[in-house]
Amino acid sequence: MGKLLIICGPTAVGKTSLAIELARTLEGELVSADSKQVYKGLDIGTGKDIPPQAKRKGFYLYKGVKIWGYDLVGASQDYSVAQFVAFAQDRIKRIRKDGKLPILVGGTGLYIRAIVDGIGTVEIPNNNALRKNLAEKEVQELFELLAQLDPIKAGSLNASDKKNPRRLIRAIEIATWRLNSGGRKLKQVRPQEDALFIGLIAPKKVLYERIDKRVETRLRAGIIKEITALLKSGVDWDNQSMSSLGYRQWREYFAGVSSKEEVVKLWKVQERKYAKRQITWFKKDLRIIWFDVVSPGWREKVEKLVKKWYKLS
């Protein structure tokens, strides 16, 4: 299926800057694997960090490198893993056809896994009627319903997933589909044959300092103004996009319940927790070759490894 380079790791560790550097060296193009950067208008809080003039039709051109996967849907629309898989597979195929190296970069582990290994359940369609019926249920009610439908799946969930209504509803949706499908087999997904995984990591103190600095930078860049514009355009707090880190924390501020200082403090804490979850997810994948971004010469080591891999037939 061709070569695919993956740059992954926690937030604020420098994945995109490395990916751009490698793309310039190896004539590659980036495909973002970030579940929140797909939304139009969510720029500052999601860390697109690309100047507006870089935007082109369907992609961003930054330092001579094409970046795909930003601004795919409106902020009022839902976006699924299945939609990402369809987009990314097509884009990776086109990049290869143009004789370039596709570089999948981001921190959404599920997106990366779906492309590299395939996830059969992505073909199970959304059940909007079911979702509407489940929307008002408490998290505990959702978990108990899942336990009745699929006790094995319910038992496999970690503490975070058990408290996540969106993931619980999707699990119920999948379990319901399976019960109603009459034993229909899911499509077998052929995994990527030649993928190189580069993981970036940093000591906890350094990573947390970077996260705090990034939050402060996004505050100065105008995150409050960006959210104000989104709300005025008709985006609702209950839209999927507004559940993103850097956005949902501001809901009580706009309701007059929390101060700006309280929101920023909460935002930093939740970004740190998210980074911890990302690390936990990626550490389970033994294919990832890790590089500490504070160790001397780490970029040169990455470049040497990638060049060697890319040149092998």
Instruction: Read off the CATH number of the domain in which 75 is found.
Output: 3.40.50.300
- Check whether residue 205 and residue 273 sit in a common domain: yes
- Check whether residue 14 and residue 57 sit in a common domain: yes
Q: Is 9 annotated as a binding residue?
A: yes
Task: Assess contact for 167 and 117: CB atoms under 8 A.
Answer: no
Q: Is 10 annotated as a binding residue?
A: yes
- Check whether residue 88 and residue 145 sit in a common domain: no
- Check whether residue 52 and residue 168 sit in a common domain: no
Q: Is 297 annotated as a binding residue?
A: no
Q: Is 15 annotated as a binding residue?
A: yes
Give dist(CA 69, CA 38) in Å, integer: 6
- How many other C-beta atoms can be found within 10 angstroms of the C-beta atom of residue 132? 9
- How many other C-beta atoms can be found within 10 angstroms of the C-beta atom of residue 297? 9
**Residue 247 belongs to some domain of the structure:** yes
Q: Is 132 annotated as a binding residue?
A: no
The predicted structure's pLDDT at residue 192: 63
Instruction: Report the domain count for the chain.
Output: 2
- Check whether residue 129 and residue 103 sit in a common domain: no
Q: Is 175 annotated as a binding residue?
A: no
- Check whether residue 169 and residue 215 sit in a common domain: no
Give the residue among 27, 5, 13, 12 at the shortest CA–CA distance from 198: 5
28, β-bridge pairs: 101
What backbone phi and psi angles, to 5 degrees, belong to 54?
A: -80, -10
- Check whether residue 274 and residue 237 sit in a common domain: yes
- Check whether residue 94 and residue 233 sit in a common domain: yes
The predicted structure's pLDDT at residue 111: 94
> Of 180, 203, 218, which residue is a domain's last?
180
**Residue 185 belongs to some domain of the structure:** no
- Check whether residue 68 and residue 154 sit in a common domain: no
The predicted structure's pLDDT at residue 167: 85
- Check whether residue 171 and residue 195 sit in a common domain: no
- Check whether residue 289 and residue 200 sit in a common domain: yes
Task: Assess contact for 294 and 203: CB atoms under 8 A.
Answer: yes
Task: Assess contact for 43 and 140: CB atoms under 8 A.
Answer: no
- Check whether residue 75 and residue 44 sit in a common domain: yes
**Could you say which residues of the chain have pLDDT below 70?**
1, 120, 123, 182-193, 313
Q: Is 222 annotated as a binding residue?
A: no
Q: Is 159 annotated as a binding residue?
A: no
Full domain range(s) for residue 154: 125-180
Give dist(CA 205, CA 225) in Å, integer: 30
**Residue 42 belongs to some domain of the structure:** yes
The predicted structure's pLDDT at residue 236: 96
> Of 180, 206, 221, which residue is a domain's last?
180
